[in-house]
Amino acid sequence: MKTYLVTGGAGFIGSNLIEQLLKSSKVIVLDNFNSHYDPMIKENNIKTFLNHKNFKLYRGDIRDRVILNEIFRDNQIDCVIHLAALAGVRNSINNPMLYQDVNCNGTLNILEIMHLHDVKKIVFASSSSVYGNLKEVPFREDMSTDFCISPYAATKKSSEIMIYTYSKLYNINSVILRLFTAYGPRQRPDLAISKFTSFILEDKPIYMYGNGDTYRDYTYIDDIVSGIIKSIEYVSNNNDIYEIFNIGSSNPIKLKYMIDVISDELKKEAKIVQMGMQQGDVDRTYADITKAKNILNYEPQTSFEDGIKKFIKYYKR
């Protein structure tokens, strides 16, 4: 039975991933339960795992090399799934030094400890934000990512480069996943779909930035998790690799349509207040998933409309 370390495992994506991994593997989680959003949400995300015989939780920070060394010393780790990061484009503009410290220095700590303990496999959650405002769509993995427009995106790009460096220096087999906008059960409350659902139900106004024509490649959480698991299998069965994959739906959704679908499912009208565009927000994201399909056999299964139905059912429950 393989043992996986999932950093940031109490979060939205991590907790959904762990639920699947525990069916056949041992899972170690490192999470600091920070106050970026209500820590009780993360506590609830993992409470059902705490008594599982193959689950172990460490409460700590990826910047803390003492706890990292303890984890790697006391456990035989087969692969690291590195999800821990400070997320959010807009917050990164207000706190660039903190984002640099957590996302870049934290990733470097993970890589250095992996090297010292001879752990050779990593799957890293990067972001579609690294593509910035490229004019050509859909976004392919071989396109330039030198034009990030937020500190958050820049920290993800920097981490990709550092992982490449360690893969070449120390033969660490690496898969970089550029995740496109995830949504679904356990979604963070500050993300658009969760926030808009809450505001419509509570008769609060929705602030729509721009004219509603910006679009995102919304990807249901089950499809994100499927892409991560297929990447774990790929990195576990291959050597001498550094690969980048887009994990998205390849079906971009306009902002105004997203609001309409949520409103229709709730059977309640949205009160929209139109605002100007915000700094750091990209105009669009759109994943070309040809490479992931061909190499990982990745195939998203959930349409946006069905995903919203599932999310709202979960949210009301």
Please name the residues in contact with 107: beta carbons below 8 A apart, sequence gap of 6 or more.
62, 82, 124, 159, 162, 163
pLDDT (0 to 100) of residue 44: 97
CA gap 274, 207 in Å, rounded: 6
Task: State residue 275's pLDDT score.
Answer: 86
Tell me phi and psi for residue 242, to 5 degrees: -140, 110
Domain that holds residue 40: 3-180+220-248+286-300
Q: Hey, which residues does 30 pair with through a beta bridge?
A: 7, 58
Cβ contacts of 85 within 8 Å, gap of 6 or more: 8, 102, 103, 106, 125, 155, 156
> What is the pLDDT, as a whole number, of residue 36?
85
Q: Which two tokens stand for residue 234?
A: 């790929």
Predicted local confidence at residue 243, as pLDDT: 98
- Position 306 in a domain: no
Q: Classify residue 267: in a domain, yes or no.
A: no
What is residue 53's predicted lDDT score, i.e. its pLDDT? 97
Instruction: Judge whether 206 lies within some domain.
Output: no
Supply 180's token pair.
């496109």
What token pair was written down for 59?
A: 């409460």
In angstroms, what CA-CA distances link 164 with 38, 167, 182? 34, 5, 25
> Which residue stretches of the chain have pLDDT < 50?
none
How many other CB atoms are found less than 10 A from the CB of residue 22? 17
For residue 42, the model assigns a pLDDT of 97
The answer to the question of residue 263 being in a domain is no
Amino acid 233 reads E
Name the phi and psi angles at 207, rounded to 5.
Answer: -90, 110
Confidence (pLDDT) at 238: 96
Matching residue, tokens 């979604």 = 187
Token pair belonging to 138: 């859909």
Residue 201 within any structural domain of the chain:
no
CA distances from 173 to 116, 139, 165 (A): 15, 24, 11
Using alpha carbons, select from 283, 289, 247, 250 the residue that is nearest to residue 135: 283
How many Cβ atoms are within 10 Å of 214's Cβ, its own excluded? 18
Assigned domain for 146 exists: yes
Alpha-helix runs per DSSP H in the chain: 12-21, 39-46, 65-74, 89-94, 96-99, 106-116, 151-170, 192-201, 221-236, 255-266, 290-296, 304-316
Please identify which residue in the block is written with the tokens 């090399």. 65
pTM of the prediction?
0.97
Could you tell me the CATH number of the domain that includes residue 124? 3.40.50.720
Say whether 222 sits in a helix, a strand or coil: helix
The answer to whether the Cα torsion of 134, 135, 138, 144 is positive or negative is negative
User: Residue 278's pLDDT is what?
Assistant: 82
d(CA 51, CA 169): 39
Catalytic site positions: 152
- Rg of the chain over all Cα atoms, to the nearest angstrom: 19
**Assigned domain for 198 exists:** no
Number of domains in the chain: 1
Q: Residue type for 267, please?
A: K
Tell me how far apart the alpha carbons of residues 299 and 248 are, in angstroms, rounded to a whole number.
9
Residues contacting 12, CB < 8 A, separation 6+: 45, 182, 186, 187, 188, 221
269 occurs within a structural domain = no
